Amino acid sequence: MTKQRRSREGLARFGEPGALVLLALSDGPKHGYAITADVKEQTGMQLGPGTLYGSLSKLVDRGLIVALPSEERRRPYEITPAGREALAAHLESWSRVVSTGGRRLGWA
């Protein structure tokens, strides 16, 4: 396994809420409520405040997102290049899982 691949896989190790937050931020900066609304629109899942802000904190700590300066009460977050790389690796991995699952269930 190449060093780059190990690095990408390491970046991809975050939970489903983290992946959903990264996906929500992949089309531009959003504040917490907008992230929650985007996740609900895309998946039908409602992230609770504890789950959302816990995920945001972990993603900031790992350098996958940054909190943008704001004078308003709502703080926007933005995905970083490392966050985009991690999201791509995560989606690639899950694409393989879905493909295998589909074949095994006779979908394809």
pLDDT tens digits, residue range 57-94? 999 999 999 999 998 889 999 999 999 999 999 999 88
Please determine, for residue 14, whether its predicted confidence score (pLDDT) is greater than 90: no
Q: Are 29 and 107 in contact (CB under 8 A)?
A: no
On whether the pTM is more than 0.75, the answer is: yes
From the number of C-beta atoms within 10 Å of its C-beta (0-12, 13-18, 19+), residue 39 rates as buried
The pLDDT of 8-19, averaged and rounded, is 69
Alpha-carbon span 61 to 51, nearest angstrom: 15
Please determine, for residue 29, whether its predicted confidence score (pLDDT) is greater than 70: yes
**What pLDDT score does 3 carry?**
45
Q: Where are the alpha helices (DSSP H) in the chain?
A: 3-11, 16-25, 32-43, 49-61, 81-104
**What pLDDT score does 15 carry?**
80
The pLDDT of 22-45, averaged and rounded, is 97
Q: Which CATH class is domain 15-99?
A: mainly alpha
Question: What average pLDDT does the structure give for the chain?
Answer: 89
Alpha-carbon span 56 to 79, nearest angstrom: 11
What tokens appear for 44 in the block? 């039908």
Q: Are 76 and 39 in contact (CB under 8 A)?
A: no
Strands 65-67 and 77-79: what pairing?
Answer: antiparallel
The pLDDT of 10-37, averaged and rounded, is 89
What are the structural domain ranges in the chain? 15-99
